[in-house]
Structure 1
Amino acid sequence: MTVYVKELNRSITGRESGSNKHSASKSCALSLIRQLYHLGVIEAYTGSLKSATTSEQIAAYPVKISHQLAKRVHECLMELEIQPVKVNTSNTGTKDAVSLMHPSDDVHFKPQSTNLQQPASVISWSPPQPNWNPWLGCNIDEGYLATATLEKLSEDLLCDSRNLLRDNQELQMSMMTREKLPISAMRRKIMEAINEHPVVLIRGNTGCGKTTQIAQYILEDYINSGQGAYCNVCVTQPRRISAISVSERVANERCENLGSAVGYSVRFDSVLPRPFGSILFCTIGVLLRKLEGGLRGVSHVIVDEIHERDVNSDFILVVLRDMVHTYPDLRVILMSATIDTTMFSRYFGDCPVLEVPGRAFPVEQMFLEDCIEMLNFKPTPPEGGSAKRKRGKDGDDEGDGGAEYEPDVQESGNLNEVIDETVYSPQTKQAMSMMVESDTPFELISALVDYVDQQGRPGAVLVFLAGWNMIFALMRQLQTRPNLVVLPLHSQLPREDQRKVFNHYGQRRKVILATNIAETSITIDDIVYVIDTCKARMKLFTSHNNMTNYATVWAARTNLEQRKGRAGRVRPGMCFTLCSRARFAKLEENLTPEMFRTPLHELALSIKLLRLGAIGKFLSKAIEPPPLDAVIEAEVLLKEMRCLDEAEQLTPFGRILARLPIEPRLGKMMVLSTLFGLCDTITTMAAYSGTFSEIFLLELGQRRLLAHQKALSGQTFSDYVAMQTAFEMWSRKRAVSEEAEFRFCEWKGLQMPTLRTIAEAKKQLMENLTLAGFPQDTMMPFRFDPENPEPDLEMAMALLCVGLYPNVCFHKEKRRVLTTESKAALIHKTSVNCSNTPTTFPYPFFVFGEKIRTRAVSCKQMSMVTPIHLLLFGCKKVEWCNGSVRIDNWLNLNMDPYDAAMILALRPCLQDLLVQISENPDSISCLAEKHLNMLKVVKELCAFSAGDYEIDRPVRSSFGQGVRSHPPKVPRYGDASNDQLSGFVRIGNSSSGGGNSGDGDYETGNVPISGGNTANLRHDGNRGFGSGYGNNNGYGSNRSNSRYFNNPMLNPTSNDRYTTAEDNAGPYGRGSNYQGGYSGGTRGGYSGGARNFRRGRGRW
């Protein structure tokens, strides 16, 4: 939307995304208004804000801290010489709001130099030089390369190349195969353009060979001309899997191992090539991190798949355009699919565009109605016989799990009902009308896979789905077919799992379930059939409140064309496009560029880290600049976080966050956690939040977590704690063996790939903090019991407010919550907090990781917090208004305003301490006494009971069991007073995901449980992890000849593993089955359930 502004004599543009046209239009209008405000055309609104509707008003929530705690807070503030805001509470009827925020909470940093605005600079560049490794960014100090000249190295490369080509018949065959590619005919023309122009754009269709050949042409021309050491090519790919797979393909074509002339560098993994005469494939994020030290020693930069328009691609184009203006000897090659590239060519000064013909085989395309007609498909009617979707039991209309899209019914309705009756049968029309466009048609996809397999023709099937939930749901459905090999392909999968899609599986047909990761760059050479659901998962962002949510929307026609092209790489193929012809005609040509629908503060930090000048000025040079209000909101947020000073230069704290590969608020949470010794736990949580992947496996048709999965959160009502508990237990099993890891994940219903990804991300984040100088003793792991009060765990949950704000919600009833500005949402069904029964939580306040738009808005990755947590870490504005403490204009607290003001006065003190440790991380080890006292007081305030003085909170005893006034008395760490066992027992290292109990002989009637103290138990080990989790059954291996089997005595409906003593042989004799989830053995564990053991015979 573009509006001409007379006062400015210019036009302003708003470009926003939404789940439908109505919401996008509202966001766009708001963007224009905010731009007018920032440009000084209109003034800020000074009237009263419109209050929420009566039905959504939140009653003031009672909060009271004890007199002793209030006294300690007061004394702490006096020691810090901080005076809290004072409020006159005698006149409670006034409508004038009084801010309780301490004035110093809004103070920005003074500039670090007298030069308020440092001039913008361009990334430095130089061609390859002796004694320099461009991929490591360091000098070469040892060996032959340390003293060799480029001329001598070039001679060596030429000699080696000729010898290899003469002696290696496999290389000769590879060269002949490469010459058959369509791009080979244009090799000379391409090289002439690259040598003559700083920037060249190459546009080629799928299969033309541009991704694998252009870099090789450049390197080979340099080597053959005796200039090989003067050439180092950096090729960027949009995704990790494409960077790795393309590098492997190129190395294979050159009959070399990775690490010679060809290498790759992606997050978590690198195989770097030689320093001279080489090609590096990497993601754009890796290249951006290298730019901090300049682009020294790289002769050519190739940016592949520029048409995808992700935020990093648009960012690197601005950087490279400035660089080629300053350094005309640098060569930049842009590569794109066959779409309109006029905009890119003009952006680089009308650079030459070379068109490369493709070599795709013909692909037959069938739309939804064609598939239904061909299969005579009849969808299963919904329960109740209605063709319309029934409303869910919980009062929502989220559907069957296949729906991840909110259709714009007002605009177009269900276009499945629009069909050409002269071409298709009445049965097809009826079947189409029964299918809702927003659903993922699993039933039809399954029928199409069966149809393809029945044809008997060879070829793999590639299914495009919108996200991991869809992939997993379909994978569980198709895995029952023994003739299929079903493989997921997702960006968060570990490399070894991603590589499986390139393998061949003999007579079994390969079915790949992928997101848009498989649209471009990677080549799976046996794909013949494509099934396209025509959906894409998109991040949507509103700058005015810094809220991000995810929605599954219709893909654009260019995306569908790319997906279709995957089927025609090796032979004629078929593409089943599962949208109607009427819907296809209404699809957008291209999706909105990511820069218009993503937060800019992470990008802004990169701009400052690379010293590229003012954030707004730099982004205004983008190929399509983002709206002004989004830029300014990013700057404001970074200043509030104290990442930027008043001159908009990076502070030491901002520099640390800029180097962390994670969202800045999560980075701040990590740095702050070092003050409390919680860095290990918080970094795990940050890594989990950064992956946005599910850790729990859901069986086909399973909509909610099982009881034993929910029980991992204990009494914390936190998805993050459930993840942390599962992660710690998994880590210990992984350290034993891969088999133990696999069995544990199967037993607990956990996603092993997700846990591995979290572990890799955590490792990288911890390494970055170590490099920043933070002491190792702040990163020590600790174990906690989620079933019982743990001060450290409660402190960690409070810190989640730092990383997840403004994602705050308030529980109303059942699954219903209110988010910021009192907007209704639901608890996502995969949350531990989702229950079939009415639930009253101890505290109705939650923070959450992400917001998902389906037919309703759902909150995922939820964690319960207290009002005091929000005051300390999760609010931007707090006022005393109408006799209540009001947070961010929507949450009301019934508490003493002076107590609230004292708590809020601690915030700038914490910020100042954060500044101190950012400038000198070693200072954490020698903090002043007043700062130690402050941290102690903050930790006291973060106890869940801190605001409950003289208040009786509801405490739920367990999931789905109503409400208790007081928490139940549960035996901790194995109260074995009721355990009965005959004979002597010797168990080693027994725990339920916790510490080792140690070895020891125990007297009759006693058993070590959870590695903790039991009745009449002689215990000589560390305290265990917890008292067990619900109805989970422990598992482990006995000392001799044990095996696993399902034990119906434990739980008739459970598939949990159980080890029987009857499998033991030798001097220990014969035992009997135990009841209650105890699984003896060297790694056995007690995990809740009944406490009584059946009486055994003899010895174990």
Structure 2
Amino acid sequence: NNHADLSLMNQRKRLPIFQYRNHILYLLEKHNVLIIVGETGSGKSTQVPQYLVESGWTEKGKHGCLITQPRRVAAVTLATRVAEERGSLLGGEVGYGIRFDDCFDPRETVIKFVTDGVLLREMMSDPLLKKYNVVIVDEAHERSINTDMCMGLLKKIQRKRQDLRIIISSATISAEFFKDFFTIKNAGKSQDNVGVLSVEGRNYPIEVFYSSDPVPDYVKATVETVLQIHRHEGDGDILVFLTGQDEVRTAVRLLIDDLRSRGQDKKKYLKVLPFYSGLHEKEQFKVFERVSRNTRKVIVATNVAETSVTIEGVTFVVDCCFVKLKVYNPSSGIESLIVCPASQASLEQRAGRAGRCRNGKVYRLCPEKEAMSLEKTTPPEMQRSNLMSVILQLKALGVDNVLRFHFISPPPAQCMVRGLELLFALGALDQNGNLTSPLGVTMAEFPLNPMFVKMLLESEKFDCSSEIVTIVAMLQVRDVAIFPTNERGKAAMEHRKFAVAQGDHFTLLNIYDCFINEGNKTKKWCEKYYLNYKALKRAVKIRENLCKYMNRFKVAVQPAQSDISKIQRCIVSGFFANAARLHHDGSYRGLHNDVTLHIHPSSVLIAEKYPPKFLVFNEILETSKMFMRDVTLVEPDWLHELAPHFYEFGTQHEVYSKRIK
């Protein structure tokens, strides 16, 4: 923070948004909806909620201000900063709510930061959001699936609540698009109910450099570029954009290895920091900490650093020009994580990080001609996702005809049909498309993928609820196994001690049980077996929250029974749609779509001499091949027994998929 020596009030006044304070308040009085367009770093996320409190929007019987964020990291960091500026403890006047973690007081909190998924949960208990006078949808340009749902539902709520004020905050020029969506039209005439305000940023000039030829390995090229900048460029921190956690960890390891082999320059020390959404909060906050004058930070990040949070001191940006997107193919029913070229809007957003405090430089690891030929914007998540959860939540909120719901970007009809089909197969919807009771109604209350919820709710029937809750909790965290530099072989040997022949779900269960019983939840035990202590502690917390949900819906969490077949059958009851069978060439074929699949290299089943003939998986990761992650072997009889509406036996007693009529 360049103004860290100033008082907090003076720091606030130096933000670009401050000169627009009165304009914002005036427009909010005159219009039901206000669209604010301003680059990340202008102060809109932290200051606008405070302007509302200071001007009386939360006094005299008026309720609080709710701010949605597309990411957990942003919700926590912004709440922390605003609490500091307000001179209050986090959880008092200012709080946050994210999945499986709340820090607010219902009586005191007037500024509440939440993820957009949490807002959808609040709508289920309070459909008209009567607790709030103002709802701010921040980073709306990211067009996450939950953000789009929130905007559609807020438009619906505002018809019933004329006093509700909605602020849409975006970092890119998409104001006209949002204005058209929220403008009320009566008899062909448009009402003047939407105000638009553009806030100037404080960017310094930025030089953009491109590679002369395509880069064969952008992770290695990124590392080489960072080291060249460190050795030959002046002061300033470096922000690196890669596509996912694995690439971030690889780049961090390569940088540290190089620094160790060559030795650090005592005049200019390089501090390497990872930054991604799955990282523990304490580790995430390290990227915001100040360092000594002879130290340069290099933050290796996913696109979590593209918007939502501002890291001061960044002068150089290294952009791989790729992004990892979730893409759903409704014809095959496969939802994949695919590494693909970033959009021009993303490249511009990333480049803007370099000009916050001084003249900046951006290094794009692709030829200029290729960068100019990229798509203008990233397709909205709503149009490339599995819509099971969307349909389930809309049904729970009373939207019976989901096909007629006013989506800001309507999804493909085939995706909607596929989502309805899967929900019917899970038993959440009846033949008329209505929520079943109690199963469908209960499933909508859980903040999880419907397949996980079906597994949890069925676990009591299979007498394995304790084990299933543990497995689901462990699947909500990533990177349980750690592979330190120069000790990867030893770490792999230690991890094999927990391996279970039935698959990854049981291996995770084994790790958790050993952590609780043998390890007594200690960090020392985790270090011995190369396990992520923070991830396991988070799994413990998630499990506690899931148990509360189970108790709320009167599903008994019974003591562990250790009957493996019952647990396998329970997993099949939720994930029967994700089944595959072994092909004669050694690969797998999806039972429902005949797509060629492979077991992910991280799976315990990859080392099996005799691979299982049938298995179920949690998700697909598409890189060089389509890899199944989190796999467990099953019997074909169970697929037909537990999902007779989805599978049938052929003439040779082989299980086949069948379409739902």
Q: Which digits, 9 at most, give the CA deviation of each residue in 1:334-377, with x for residues without a partner? A: 100122321111001162211111112222222223xxxxxxxx
More displaced 10-residue stretch of structure 1: 754-763 or 320-329: 754-763
3-state SS of 1:725 partner: helix
Pair 1:524-2:311 in alignment = yes
Q: How much does 1:308 deviate?
A: 0.5
Q: Which digits, 9 at most, give the CA deviation of each residue in 1:982-1030, with x for residues without a partner? A: xxxxxxxxxxxxxxxxxxxxxxxxxxxxxxxxxxxxxxxxxxxxxxxxx
| Number of residue-to-residue matches in the alignment | 632
3-state SS of 1:466 partner: coil
Q: How much does 1:186 deviate?
A: 1.6
Aligned to 1:448: 225
Aligned to 1:546: 333
Aligned to 1:296: 130
Q: Which digits, 9 at most, give the CA deviation of each residue in 1:292-326, with x for residues without a partner? A: 22212311111101111111111011111112222
Q: Quick one: distance in 2 between partners of 1:479 and 1:531?
A: 17
Aligned to 1:803: 574
Aligned to 1:1093: none
Identify if the C-alpha distance between structure 1 residues 535 and 882 changes in structure 2 by more than 3 Å, giving closer, same or farther: same
Q: 2:83 is matched with which residue: 223, 247, 251?
A: 251
Aligned to 1:177: 11
Identify if the C-alpha distance between structure 1 residues 871 and 648 changes in structure 2 by more than 3 Å, giving closer, same or farther: closer
Q: How much does 1:690 deviate?
A: 4.2
Aligned to 1:677: 463
Aligned to 1:839: 609
Asked whether the 8 Å contact 2:645–2:658 carries over to 1, the reply is no
Q: Which digits, 9 at most, give the CA deviation of each residue in 1:423-456, with x for residues without a partner? A: xxxxxxxxx5xx42xx3332x2222222232247
Q: 2:284 is matched with which residue: 485, 489, 498?
A: 498
> In the alignment, residue 14 of structure 2 is paired with which amino acid?
K
Q: Quick one: distance in 1 between partners of 2:573 and 2:302?
A: 31
Asked whether the 8 Å contact 1:206–1:359 carries over to 2, the reply is no
Asked whether the 8 Å contact 1:465–1:532 carries over to 2, the reply is yes
> In the alignment, residue 682 of structure 1 is paired with which amino acid?
I
Pair 1:330-2:164 in alignment = yes
More displaced 10-residue stretch of structure 1: 300-309 or 673-682: 673-682
Q: Which digits, 9 at most, give the CA deviation of each residue in 1:786-831, with x for residues without a partner? A: xxxxxx1222123222232322222346852222333323222212
Aligned to 1:346: 180
> In the alignment, residue 575 of structure 1 is paired with which amino acid?
V
Q: Quick one: distance in 2 between partners of 1:760 and 1:815?
A: 39
Pair 1:358-2:197 in alignment = no
Q: Quick one: distance in 2 between partners of 1:229 and 1:659?
A: 30
Identify if the C-alpha distance between structure 1 residues 734 and 510 changes in structure 2 by more than 3 Å, giving closer, same or farther: farther
Q: 1:637 is matched with which residue: 414, 418, 422?
A: 422
Q: Quick one: distance in 2 between partners of 1:882 and 1:261?
A: 67
Aligned to 2:552: 771
By percentage of residues, which structure has more strand?
2
Aligned to 2:601: 829
Asked whether the 8 Å contact 2:649–2:656 carries over to 1, the reply is no
Asked whether the 8 Å contact 2:99–2:447 carries over to 1, the reply is no
3-state SS of 1:322 partner: helix
Asked whether the 8 Å contact 2:69–2:75 carries over to 1, the reply is yes
Higher relative contact order (CA 8 A, sep 6+): 1
3-state SS of 1:280 partner: strand
**TM-score when normalising by structure 2:** 0.89
Q: Which digits, 9 at most, give the CA deviation of each residue in 1:679-714, with x for residues without a partner? A: 1211222234444x3432345696998344234223
Asked whether the 8 Å contact 2:598–2:626 carries over to 1, the reply is yes
> In the alignment, residue 324 of structure 1 is paired with which amino acid?
Q
Aligned to 1:1035: none
Asked whether the 8 Å contact 2:462–2:570 carries over to 1, the reply is no
Q: Quick one: distance in 2 between partners of 1:733 and 1:570?
A: 51
Q: Quick one: distance in 2 between partners of 1:712 and 1:261?
A: 45
Asked whether the 8 Å contact 2:64–2:110 carries over to 1, the reply is yes
Q: Quick one: distance in 2 between partners of 1:172 and 1:486?
A: 28
Pair 1:580-2:352 in alignment = no
Aligned to 1:654: 440
- Which aligned pairs between 1:557-572 and structure 2 lie closer than 5 A? 557-572=344-359
Aligned to 1:382: none
> In the alignment, residue 558 of structure 2 is paired with which amino acid?
M
Q: Quick one: distance in 2 between partners of 1:589 and 1:451?
A: 30
Aligned to 2:186: none
Q: Quick one: distance in 1 between partners of 2:571 and 2:125?
A: 33
Asked whether the 8 Å contact 2:646–2:658 carries over to 1, the reply is yes
3-state SS of 1:713 partner: coil
Aligned to 2:99: 267
Pair 1:697-2:482 in alignment = yes
Aligned to 1:625: 410
Pair 1:320-2:141 in alignment = no
Q: How much does 1:246 deviate?
A: 0.9
Asked whether the 8 Å contact 1:492–1:757 carries over to 2, the reply is no
3-state SS of 2:528 partner: helix
Q: How much does 1:236 deviate?
A: 0.8
Asked whether the 8 Å contact 2:330–2:418 carries over to 1, the reply is yes
Pair 1:868-2:647 in alignment = no
3-state SS of 1:260 partner: coil
> In the alignment, residue 352 of structure 2 is paired with which amino acid?
G
Aligned to 1:412: none
Q: Quick one: distance in 2 between partners of 1:265 and 1:869?
A: 39
Aligned to 1:747: 528
Q: Quick one: distance in 1 between partners of 2:627 and 2:426?
A: 28
Q: Quick one: distance in 2 between partners of 1:234 and 1:889?
A: 46
Q: Quick one: distance in 1 between partners of 2:55 and 2:5?
A: 17
Q: How much does 1:206 deviate?
A: 2.7
> In the alignment, residue 537 of structure 2 is paired with which amino acid?
R
Asked whether the 8 Å contact 2:501–2:605 carries over to 1, the reply is no
Q: Quick one: distance in 1 between partners of 2:17 and 2:521?
A: 51
> In the alignment, residue 29 of structure 2 is paired with which amino acid?
N
Q: How much does 1:867 deviate?
A: 2.0
Q: Quick one: distance in 2 between partners of 1:286 and 1:510?
A: 33
Q: Quick one: distance in 2 between partners of 1:645 and 1:882?
A: 30
Q: Quick one: distance in 1 between partners of 2:529 and 2:181?
A: 53
Asked whether the 8 Å contact 1:680–1:780 carries over to 2, the reply is yes
5+ unaligned residues in a row in structure 1: which ranges? 1-169, 370-415, 417-431, 785-791, 891-1100
3-state SS of 1:683 partner: helix
Q: How much does 1:479 deviate?
A: 2.7
Q: Which digits, 9 at most, give the CA deviation of each residue in 1:133-157, with x for residues without a partner? A: xxxxxxxxxxxxxxxxxxxxxxxxx
Q: How much does 1:610 deviate?
A: 1.8
Asked whether the 8 Å contact 2:204–2:360 carries over to 1, the reply is yes
3-state SS of 1:860 partner: strand
Asked whether the 8 Å contact 2:600–2:606 carries over to 1, the reply is yes
Identify if the C-alpha distance between structure 1 residues 318 and 514 changes in structure 2 by more than 3 Å, giving closer, same or farther: same
Q: How much does 1:763 deviate?
A: 2.4
- The structure with the larger Rg is 1
Aligned to 1:122: none
Asked whether the 8 Å contact 2:141–2:171 carries over to 1, the reply is yes
5+ unaligned residues in a row in structure 2: which ranges? 184-191
More displaced 10-residue stretch of structure 1: 301-310 or 604-613: 604-613
Aligned to 1:999: none
> In the alignment, residue 603 of structure 2 is paired with which amino acid?
S
Identify if the C-alpha distance between structure 1 residues 887 and 198 changes in structure 2 by more than 3 Å, giving closer, same or farther: same
Asked whether the 8 Å contact 2:94–2:109 carries over to 1, the reply is no
Pair 1:706-2:492 in alignment = yes
Identify if the C-alpha distance between structure 1 residues 289 and 179 changes in structure 2 by more than 3 Å, giving closer, same or farther: same
Identify if the C-alpha distance between structure 1 residues 316 and 713 changes in structure 2 by more than 3 Å, giving closer, same or farther: same
3-state SS of 2:514 partner: helix
Q: How much does 1:248 deviate?
A: 1.4
Q: How much does 1:250 deviate?
A: 1.4
3-state SS of 2:309 partner: coil
RMSD over aligned CA atoms reads 2.7
Asked whether the 8 Å contact 1:365–1:575 carries over to 2, the reply is yes
